[in-house]
């Protein structure tokens, strides 16, 4: 295997292109980044490439939306044009990124721009780069979203995205300050994520750590997550578009991870149209996480979550240790709100989501700040077959308690002053 130094080239993309051209078919090449800061625009990786970030090396992306020209991708569960991911690979295989260095997304500018949109309560595109995307996505006004205001077409890029890739290994380095989702795998398989740190400020909205999106055969172990949204997130598309693609996320193993600030530690959904199945999570620690285990969907998402096993978990200072719910409200369009969030039964359609066969064992949760467990299904499609064994839990002191509406964002539905175990519209739920 040939080794190359990134410092021998004028920029990162030139280095990757040159190394790729020089590598014989079937062989791999290593591109090494010594200590130093490497500022760059978007980067595309190719097959049979090893990126090694030595101690003190930082790849730092320039915060300028005009650099990340539109690309066909999946954004909040819907295929569309969005800004080019900062670090990207498409239809590639055998890619490794390793070392103790850092990849930094310069997220501050992106977060402030989005906060301004929220402060204005803006729901339409106005910036040139937003209007460009709106033209490419003529149905943007009706697209479902999860809270990142897709109607503005400020479709921020993920820090890293693998699109239709296979045999990916990510080891030991740090991802930080992402504009949007941090590590996004789409239609990809055979992925190992080990020993990584993913860090975003707790108020950096939509900065999930890992989004496994219609991807399979994934192992995540010995990682640290401290982010501004969900941590390890499993998705499979949203609504009609997700049903059209119909690719599940499955065969995912998470072991020995530590999760600090996040909205959901292990978050499954809310984009569930293609289905999510065969997930195992074990021996993880959650400290100050809002919701440690978080299965979420709603009417209009479709699909089924099933065969989920979570065991040997320790939680401290969480708002709610266990959430399994079908009334996830963020991003519901105004005209959809009445039917989507109705507590009365609604007609069963292809867009009705289902959750079943969840096994949770040996969970210790201390200093709970809101509610011990929140299991709330749809009256027309109740949650089925939930077994929770050896769930030991205790509440925080009165000064640390939060109002119970913090348990899960459902626009006030199913929240009262009960801080215990809430079960609504669910069958065969067993605490043993």
pLDDT above 90: residue 184:
yes
Residue 176: per-residue pLDDT: 98
pLDDT above 90: residue 145:
no
Domains 1-213 and 230-246+254-432 share a fold: yes
Structure tokens at 51: 């990126």
Per-residue confidence at 15, pLDDT binned at 50, 70, 90? Answer: very high
Residue 354: per-residue pLDDT: 98
Mean pLDDT over 1-20 rounds to 95
DSSP assignment letter at 406: G
Residue 334: per-residue pLDDT: 86
What is the residue-averaged pLDDT of the chain?
96
| Nearest C-alpha neighbor of 109 from the set 57, 160, 59, 66 | 66
Question: Residues 238-247: pLDDT tens digits?
Answer: 999 999 999 9
Fold exhibited by the domain 1-213: Pectate Lyase C-like (2.160.20)
DSSP line for 136-155: H-TTGGG---SSS-GGGT--
Question: Residues 81-120: pLDDT tens digits?
Answer: 999 999 999 999 999 999 999 999 999 999 999 999 999 9
Strands (E) located in 187-248:
189-194, 197-199, 210-213, 216-221, 224-226, 232-235
Residues 6+ apart with CB under 8 A from 103: 53, 58, 59, 87, 97, 159, 160, 173, 174, 175, 176
Please tell me which residue, 377 or 412, carries the higher pLDDT value.
377
* Residue 335 contacts residue 419 (beta carbons within 8 Å): no
Mean pLDDT over 390-408 rounds to 97
Looking at 135-144, 148-157, 167-176, 252-261, which range is the least confident one? 135-144
Q: What is the CATH number of domain 230-246+254-432?
A: 2.160.20.10
pLDDT above 90: residue 344:
yes
18-23 CB contacts, 8 Å cutoff, 24+ apart: 19/49, 20/46, 20/49, 23/48, 23/49
3-state secondary structure at position 396: coil
Residue 1: per-residue pLDDT: 85
Per-residue confidence at 378, pLDDT binned at 50, 70, 90? Answer: very high
In percent, the amount of the chain with pLDDT more than 90 equals: 95
Residue 192: per-residue pLDDT: 98
Structure tokens at 29: 């090449």
Per-residue confidence at 147, pLDDT binned at 50, 70, 90? Answer: confident
Domain boundaries, the chain: 1-213, 230-246+254-432
Mean pLDDT over 54-62 rounds to 98
């Amino acid at each position: 295997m040939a080794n190359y130094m990134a410092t021998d080239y004028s920029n990162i993309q030139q280095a990757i292109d040159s190394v790729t051209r020089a590598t014989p078919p079937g062989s791999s090449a290593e591109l090494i980044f010594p200590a130093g800061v490497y500022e760059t625009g978007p980067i595309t990786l190719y097959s049979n490439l090893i990126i090694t970030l030595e101690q003190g090396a930082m790849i730092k992306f320039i915060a300028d939306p005009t650099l990340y020209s539109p690309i066909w991708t999946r954004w909040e569960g819907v295929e569309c044009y969005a800004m080019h991911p900062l670090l990207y690979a498409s239809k590639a295989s055998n890619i490794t990124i390793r070392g103790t260095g850092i990849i930094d997304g310069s997220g501050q500018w992106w977060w402030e721009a989005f906060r301004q949109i929220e402060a204005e309560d803006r729901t339409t595109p106005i910036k040139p780069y937003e209007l460009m995307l709106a033209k490419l996505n003529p149905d943007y006004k009706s697209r479902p979203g999860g809270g990142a205001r897709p109607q503005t077409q400020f479709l921020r890029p993920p820090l890293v995205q693998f699109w239709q890739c296979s045999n990916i290994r990510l080891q030991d380095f740090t991802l930080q300050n992402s504009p949007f989702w941090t590590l996004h795998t789409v239609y990809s398989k055979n992925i190992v994520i080990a020993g990584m740190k993913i860090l975003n400020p707790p108020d950096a909205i939509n900065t999930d750590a890992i989004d496994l999106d219609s991807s399979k055969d994934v192992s995540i172990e010995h990682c640290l997550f401290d982010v501004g949204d969900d941590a390890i997130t499993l998705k499979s598309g949203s609504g009609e578009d997700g049903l059209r693609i119909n690719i599940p996320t499955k065969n995912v193993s998470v072991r020995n991870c530590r999760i600090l600030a996040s909205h959901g530690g292990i978050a499954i959904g809310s984009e569930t149209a293609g289905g999510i199945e065969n997930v195992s999570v074990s021996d993880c620690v959650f400290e100050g996480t809002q919701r440690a285990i978080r299965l979420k969907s709603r009417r209009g998402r479709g699909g089924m979550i099933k065969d989920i096993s979570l065991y040997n978990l320790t939680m401290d200072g969480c708002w709610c240790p266990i959430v399994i719910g079908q009334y996830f409200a963020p991003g519901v369009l105004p005209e959809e709100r009445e039917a989507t969030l109705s507590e009365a039964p609604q007609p069963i359609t292809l867009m009705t989501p289902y959750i079943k066969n969840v096994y949770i064992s040996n969970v210790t949760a201390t200093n709970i700040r809101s509610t011990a467990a929140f299991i709330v299904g749809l009256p027309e499609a109740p949650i089925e077959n939930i077994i929770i064994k050896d769930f030991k839990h205790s509440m925080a002191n009165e000064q640390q308690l939060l109002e119970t509406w913090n348990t899960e964002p459902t626009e006030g539905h199913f929240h009262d002053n009960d801080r215990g175990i809430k079960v609504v519209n669910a069958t065969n739920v067993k605490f043993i």
